[in-house]
Amino acid sequence: MAFRIAPSILSADFARLGEEVRAVAAAGADLIHFDVMDNHYVPNLTVGPLVCAALKPHVNLPLDVHLMVKPVDRIIPEFAKAGASIISFHPEASDHVDRTIGLIRESGCKAGLVLNPATPVSWLDHTLDKLDLVLLMSVNPGFGGQQFIPSVLPKIAEVRKRIQACGKPIWLEVDGGVKADNIAEIARAGADTFVAGSAIFGAKDYAAVIRDMRARLAVL
């Protein structure tokens, strides 16, 4: 299985964001995870399409945009224009989930659905075959630096089973509290893509953390 590591800029130094994304790209990241929060769907406020467009020329990696905003549809074409490769959203933030998935795909981006720790997997019943990515939250969205919620592990396994049954190369990404010391357990449950904010940006040597994560995945 191919594993991907996606540093979340939420824990980067926002005053030096261009430099920070270049540094994690040089350190071996596969994607840049871009957390968009609106102080409405989640109790925090971060960055929008302007910052996404500003970062785009600094990095060749795909921009993995995680929308924690409600409503969601209006902002999708703006993120596509700003250079997003993947756009993920929470089903609770959309009145018409199938339409929102369609909007993302029509805008030329890969589409992801994000499930919070208490959001049921049944949201995938009628959506999975249209998705490129399922993003499972292993913390409640809104803040970096929270503890991984272990009850998400069986949920990861369940979603992996559904993806296998579907037969499409859908990515299974996990977001929240991912560190070098739990990444193997999360991968064993079935994840292939790992968001890590504080674990990477909170360290002095980004490359050392990513190397450590890859070493623990390599022995699986």
- Residues forming the site for Zn ion (CB under 5 A): 35, 66, 175
Using an 8 Å Cβ cutoff, are 91 and 123 in contact? yes
Using an 8 Å Cβ cutoff, are 213 and 196 in contact? yes
List, in sequence order, every residue forming a beta bridge with 66; answer none if it has no partner. Answer: 35, 88
Using an 8 Å Cβ cutoff, are 210 and 200 in contact? yes
Closer to ligand DX5 by CB, 144 or 190: give it: 144
CB of 20 to ligand DX5, least distance (A): 13
- For residue 134 the two structure tokens come to 């399922």
Instruction: Classify 191 as helix, strand or coil.
Output: coil
Closer to Zn ion by CB, 132 or 175: give it: 175
CB of 85 to ligand DX5, least distance (A): 16
Residue 129 falls in the annotated catalytic set: no
* Residue of 93, 176, 192, 213 interacting with ligand DX5 (CB under 6 A): 176
Residue with nearest beta carbon to ligand DX5: 197
Q: What are the b/e assignments for 168-206, b being 16+ CB within 10 Å?
A: eebbbbbbbbbbbebbbebbebbbbbbbbbbbbbebeeb
- For residue 146 the two structure tokens come to 């929270």
Determine, following the binding rule CB under 6 A, whether residue 141 of this chain makes contact with ligand DX5.
yes
Using an 8 Å Cβ cutoff, are 211 and 28 in contact? yes
Given 38, 64, 132, 175, the catalytic residue: 175
Residue 73 falls in the annotated catalytic set: no
- Site track for ligand DX5 across 121-140, x = CB under 6 A: ------------------x-
CB of 145 to Zn ion, least distance (A): 12
Q: Residues in the site for ligand DX5, rule: CB under 6 A?
A: 8, 10-11, 33, 35, 66, 139, 141-142, 144-146, 175-178, 195-199
**Residues noted as catalytic:** 35, 175
